[in-house]
Amino acid sequence: MFGLGGKRRRREQAYGLYARAVAQARDPAFYDAMGVPDTVDGRFEMIALHVYLILRRLKPEGADAADLSQALFDAMFEDMDRSLREMGVGDLSVGKRVKAMARGFYGRIKAYDEGLAAEDPAVLAEAMRRNLYGTGAPDGAQCAGMAAYLRREADALTALPGETVMAAEYAFGPPPA
């Protein structure tokens, strides 16, 4: 088990991973060229996509990575809680909204896992359309581009040693053009 110092290091490590995901999710190209809605929901979707990539890569790495994955998940939803409060969502509503976001995140994990496992690239493109674009009307090229981006980044992270990912010593590739 981790002592107090170990838990603190794990939390700092998780926040480093989360900061990497958020920085990538904020790249304007996702919103401009790829048409992801530049809204609270669209930004949540981009953060969720990048956190998913990290969690997916950490999954086969054992107990330390599992603890780090949980800390990363916690960091993400602590930030969502804080952000909702800053936007003026009432205290009584924040918990319900964060729980709904967490349930939605689990749904995205399932959809992205299924899309990456499918031989038909349209499965992942459809997951992109449903999740990233919500009720918007992206063109097929945007969905396909985001699906290719997700696949490329998943493959790139898989090729890295687990320790490199756990230490946040990597960079996501550029957004699709």
Containing structural domain, residue 14: 4-166
Residue 171 belongs to some domain of the structure: no
* Cα 97-166-41 angle, rounded to 5 deg: 25
Residue 95, in any domain of the structure: yes
Tally of structural domains, the chain: 1
Let me know if residue 172 belongs to a domain: no
pLDDT digits (tens, 9 = 90+) for 83-98: 877 777 777 677 788 7
H helix or E strand, kind and range, residue 168: none
Both tokens of 108, joined, read: 């995205």
Residue 9 lies in a domain: yes
Which of the 8 DSSP states describes residue 172? -
Task: Tell me if 149 is assigned to some domain.
Answer: yes
Residue 163 makes CB contacts below 8 A (sequence gap 6+) with none
Is residue 78 in a domain? yes
Express each pLDDT in 34-69 by its tens digit: 999 998 889 999 999 999 999 999 999 999 899 999
First to last CA, the chain: 45
| Structural domain includes residue 177 | no
Q: What is the DSSP string of 128-163?
A: HHHHHSTTS---HHHHHHHHHHHHHHHHHHHHS-HH
Q: How far apart are CA 142 and CA 102, in angstroms?
A: 26
pTM: 0.91
5 pLDDT band (50/70/90 cuts)? low
Is residue 175 domain-resident? no
